[in-house]
Amino acid sequence: MKETKKILLNSRPEGRPGDSNFKFETEQVSEPKEGEVLLKTEYVSVDPYLRGRMSDAKSYIPPFEVGKPISSLMVAEVLESKSDKLQKGDHVVGMLDWKERQVASAEELRKVDEDKAPLSAYLGILGMTGLTAYLGLTEIGKPKKGETMVVSGAAGAVGSTVGQIGKILGLKVIGIAGTDEKVEMIKNEFGFDEGINYNTTDNMTEAINKACPDGIDVYFDNVGGEISEAILFNINKFSRTVVCGAISVYNETSLPKSISVQPFLIKKSSMMQGFVISDYSDRHSEGVQQLAKWLQEGKLTYTETVREGFENIPQAFLDLFDGKNKGKMVVKV
Amino acid sequence: MKETKKILLNSRPEGRPGDSNFKFETEQVSEPKEGEVLLKTEYVSVDPYLRGRMSDAKSYIPPFEVGKPISSLMVAEVLESKSDKLQKGDHVVGMLDWKERQVASAEELRKVDEDKAPLSAYLGILGMTGLTAYLGLTEIGKPKKGETMVVSGAAGAVGSTVGQIGKILGLKVIGIAGTDEKVEMIKNEFGFDEGINYNTTDNMTEAINKACPDGIDVYFDNVGGEISEAILFNINKFSRTVVCGAISVYNETSLPKSISVQPFLIKKSSMMQGFVISDYSDRHSEGVQQLAKWLQEGKLTYTETVREGFENIPQAFLDLFDGKNKGKMVVKV
């Protein structure tokens, strides 16, 4: 096959992204040169943070360029190798373009073992998702046994992993999610102590207060917005907030306003810190080892939503903003 | 003298406090018992944080009670001592009631040396003000030589001290204040590199950007509100915000709203933490030593606004919210 489909950024979204921001094209696949491999895409990770890269705002990673392919973490099979490091038939993970076939430098790929975990797990629980949960919680949340943690976006890929790690570390864990089904899932499948459905709860501040009679020591924030406001009224002295995501405001066209956090931080000598997994690259391999160990011991489980077909990648991404995923969303190509 | 004037909390303020929230009464002064001393008030500290104690909201220190005396840090002279620790004529500092005369336990007082520094300094640069500046900056701001720091409320007691310590530690220091006179003062008297008058600046974000071409590494926040919003657009990766005060919102009756900080914290892996001096009591004596050393070396200077007369204590406090003080506001009784 000499041609491949690819997905480009067609235009920058204003507010919520839609189909028109994406464009499908075909191109010729080049030949791998020395040190390169030809790859066939197997799984594509779609993640909320990609929304940021679709805008041209300065962020922690550079924006996508209009007219150029979108990229994300992917698992691919090596079809042809001009590198000593990889062989035909190997599976690799790397930050790759949204193409069915492509040539990439072997240096930028990491070989993964299909026997240790399903290939899609390397995009989730053993990939950025698991590392974000593990390193965000331990590095910024600094939880101590017996403390209370609240996780927003609890049924999501990161949130459900954070909750389970919290239980492994001896915390009381309360999750916030958007449907009763998700609330049941985080309690029954992921072992959260309590769950709150923010869509059916009138007074979130009270509901959180009731679920956390000893207050909140660690808040792992995946959503921002109103839910995080309700948290402020329940934080403990010396509490820590891991600001990991703000999916509730990613699509806002004007800067969102919230209750000022400063007076709460002073009152409670409390700390908030932004977390980006790329800052902790020196700890990734340690993290993957720990996560793989817990996974093999059966202490950690995960849910994924697998969509099928290369042409469905944009829709899978768009569905994240409606919370249509349970756990990590990936597309099998 | 057997009678003393005292100032009580007459009612809790809604929004901005006023005269009617205070009440003057007289009472009989009791005799000191074993371990106690009779004190004559010399200097009274008035501070923005007292506004919080006038409300009955839960905070890091308990609220004042209606009908009971207001208290703050004070310097007093020992008139009569029933304690081995203190003698007649000693000067002491302690958290005392707003009374002209009172009996207090010697245990809760600290003797101060009039030869080392003027008595009022023990309420300011060698008291909570100096310690807040020094420990807030070093413990949370964690400044590194060559970094850029912005201080809001820069002409205030804490702010002007933070700026000077920043310069001692090798930072570039930019101060924000509310009059041209204050801006001149922080540059000429306190050695700030730059000053911005927020009352005459249309676009604070741009002005800060211009004053901080390398971005902001440390933000020492005494004010909250709009100024702190403008800071967010200029913070550097891994920046730290010391949330020390929020005088701009202390008198708001509804919860103030601001631009959500979370997306900025994520983008910049940035940290914000509330600072309250009482959390660091184990480091107070170390802090006072360091500050006294800098003071004696002439590296640190301070401004104070001294009002006179016991009956003017409430007005001195109220004037804080109009920024009528330069540096530490104290009342000489």
Q: Classify domain A3-124+303-332 at the CATH class level.
A: alpha beta
Q: Which of B215-246 are b and which e, b meaning 16 or more Cβ less than 10 Å from the residue's Cβ?
A: bbbbbbbbbbbebbbbbbbbbbeebbbbbbbb
* Residue among B257, B264, B269 whose CB faces A259 most closely: B257
Interface of A with B (CB under 8 A): 58-60, 221, 224-225, 228, 237-238, 243-246, 249-250, 255-276, 279
* Per-residue confidence (pLDDT) for residue A1, from 0 to 100: 56
Kindly state the tokens that stand for A315.
């829709």
Task: Determine contact, residues A246/B263, Cβ cutoff 8 Å.
Answer: yes
Of A37, A26, A34, A33, give the one whose Cα is nearest residue A1: A26
What residues of A are in contact with residue B225 (Cβ under 8 Å)? Answer: 260
Query: CB distance B265–A243 less than 8 Å?
Result: yes
Q: Can you spell out the DSSP letters for A196-222?
A: EETTS-S-HHHHHHHH-TT-EEEEEES
* Per-residue confidence (pLDDT) for residue A59, from 0 to 100: 63
Query: CB distance A249–B256 less than 8 Å?
Result: no
What are the pLDDT digits (tens) for A202-232?
999 999 999 999 999 999 999 988 899 999 9
| Other CB atoms within 10 Å distance of the CB of residue A278 | 10
* Per-residue confidence (pLDDT) for residue B210, from 0 to 100: 97
Task: Determine contact, residues B197/B191, Cβ cutoff 8 Å.
Answer: no
* Residue among B245, B262, B272 whose CB faces A224 most closely: B262
- Report whether CATH 1.10.1370.30 matches the domain A128-278: no
What are the pLDDT digits (tens) for B298-307?
999 998 899 9
CA-nearest residue to A259 within chain B is B257
- Report whether CATH 3.40.50.720 matches the domain B129-278: yes
- Mutating which of B262, B272, B277 best tests the A interface, going by the most A Cβ atoms within 10 A? B262
Of B9, B4, B3, B5, give the one whose Cα is nearest residue B317: B9
Torsion of the alpha carbons at B178, B181, B182 and B187, rounded to the nearest 10: 130
Q: Can you spell out the DSSP letters for B89-154?
A: T-EEEEEEESBSEEEEEGGG-EEE-TTTS-GGGGGTTTSHHHHHHHHIIIIII---TT-EEEEEST
The residue behind tokens 């939503």 is A305
Question: Where are chain A's structural domains?
Answer: 3-124+303-332, 128-278
The pLDDT of A75-99, averaged and rounded, is: 96
Residue A14 φ/ψ region, left for φ over 0, alpha for ψ in the -120 to 50 degree band, beta for the rest: beta
* Per-residue confidence (pLDDT) for residue A121, from 0 to 100: 93
Q: Alpha-carbon distance B244 to B273, whole Å?
A: 8
CA-nearest residue to A244 within chain B is B266
* Per-residue confidence (pLDDT) for residue A195, from 0 to 100: 98
* Per-residue confidence (pLDDT) for residue B136, from 0 to 100: 98
Q: Which residue has the higher pLDDT, A122 or A251?
A: A122
DSSP state of B221: E
* Per-residue confidence (pLDDT) for residue A252, from 0 to 100: 65
DSSP state of B174: E
* Residue among B255, B259, B268 whose CB faces A274 most closely: B268
What are the pLDDT digits (tens) for A146-157?
999 999 999 988
The residue behind tokens 């009342």 is B331
* Residue among B228, B249, B266 whose CB faces A246 most closely: B266
Query: CB distance A59–B228 less than 8 Å?
Result: no
Q: Alpha-carbon distance B266 to A275, whole Å?
A: 6
What residues of A are in contact with residue B279 (Cβ under 8 Å)? Answer: 238, 269
* Per-residue confidence (pLDDT) for residue A253, from 0 to 100: 67
* Residue among A59, A255, A262 whose CB faces B228 most closely: A262
Task: Determine contact, residues A145/A170, Cβ cutoff 8 Å.
Answer: yes
Distance from the Cα of B237 to chain A's closest Cα (Å) equals 8
Q: Which amino acid is at B63?
A: P
Kindly give the pairing relationship between strand A216-221 and strand A148-152.
parallel
* Per-residue confidence (pLDDT) for residue B323, from 0 to 100: 81
Q: Which amino acid is at B143?
A: P
* Residue among A245, A269, A276 whose CB faces B269 most closely: A276
What residues of A are in contact with residue B270 (Cβ under 8 Å)? Answer: 273-274
Kindly state the tokens that stand for B199.
């009352």
DSSP state of A311: G
CA-nearest residue to B233 within chain A is A58
Distance from the Cα of B290 to chain A's closest Cα (Å) equals 24
**Which residues, 6+ apart, have CB-to-CB distance to A282 below 8 Å?**
none
Query: CB distance A271–B272 less than 8 Å?
Result: yes
Q: Alpha-carbon distance B149 to B220, whole Å?
A: 7
Task: Determine contact, residues A220/A274, Cβ cutoff 8 Å.
Answer: no
Task: Determine contact, residues A123/A191, Cβ cutoff 8 Å.
Answer: no
Give, in degrees to the nearest 5, the angle at Cα B118 between B113 and B120: 105
- Mutating which of B140, B266, B271 best tests the A interface, going by the most A Cβ atoms within 10 A? B266
Task: Determine contact, residues A40/A52, Cβ cutoff 8 Å.
Answer: no
| Other CB atoms within 10 Å distance of the CB of residue A210 | 12
* Per-residue confidence (pLDDT) for residue A255, from 0 to 100: 79
Query: CB distance B255–A258 less than 8 Å?
Result: no
Query: CB distance A273–B276 less than 8 Å?
Result: no
Q: Alpha-carbon distance B6 to B67, whole Å?
A: 11
Query: CB distance A245–B266 less than 8 Å?
Result: yes
User: Which H or E run includes A291?
Assistant: helix A284-296
* Per-residue confidence (pLDDT) for residue A272, from 0 to 100: 98
Q: Which amino acid is at A138?
A: T
3-state SS assignment for residue B166: helix
Residue B197 φ/ψ region, left for φ over 0, alpha for ψ in the -120 to 50 degree band, beta for the rest: beta
Distance from the Cα of B240 to chain A's closest Cα (Å) equals 9
What residues of B are in contact with residue A232 (Cβ under 8 Å)? Answer: none
What residues of A are in contact with residue B265 (Cβ under 8 Å)? Answer: 243, 272-274
- Start-to-end CA distance of chain A, whole Å, equals 16
Of B247, B254, B149, give the one whose Cα is nearest residue A266: B247
Q: Alpha-carbon distance B59 to B57, whole Å?
A: 6
Kindly state the tokens that stand for B281.
């009591």
* Per-residue confidence (pLDDT) for residue B249, from 0 to 100: 66
Q: Alpha-carbon distance A7 to B161, whole Å?
A: 56
The pLDDT of A242-266, averaged and rounded, is: 83
Percent of chain A with pLDDT over 90: 79
Query: CB distance A264–B274 less than 8 Å?
Result: yes
Kindly give the pairing relationship between strand A148-152 and strand A172-177.
parallel
Q: Which residue has the higher pLDDT, A250 or B328?
A: B328
Q: Alpha-carbon distance B233 to B226, whole Å?
A: 12
* Per-residue confidence (pLDDT) for residue A246, from 0 to 100: 77
Q: Alpha-carbon distance B264 to A248, whole Å?
A: 14
* Per-residue confidence (pLDDT) for residue B58, from 0 to 100: 65
* Residue among B243, B259, B279 whose CB faces A257 most closely: B259
How many beta-carbon contacts under 8 Å exist across A and B? Answer: 129
What are the pLDDT digits (tens) for B192-209?
999 999 999 999 999 999
DSSP state of B327: B
Residues (pLDDT < 50) of chain B are: none
The complex's ipTM?
0.82
CA-nearest residue to B246 within chain A is A263
What residues of B are in contact with residue A265 (Cβ under 8 Å)? Answer: 243, 272-274
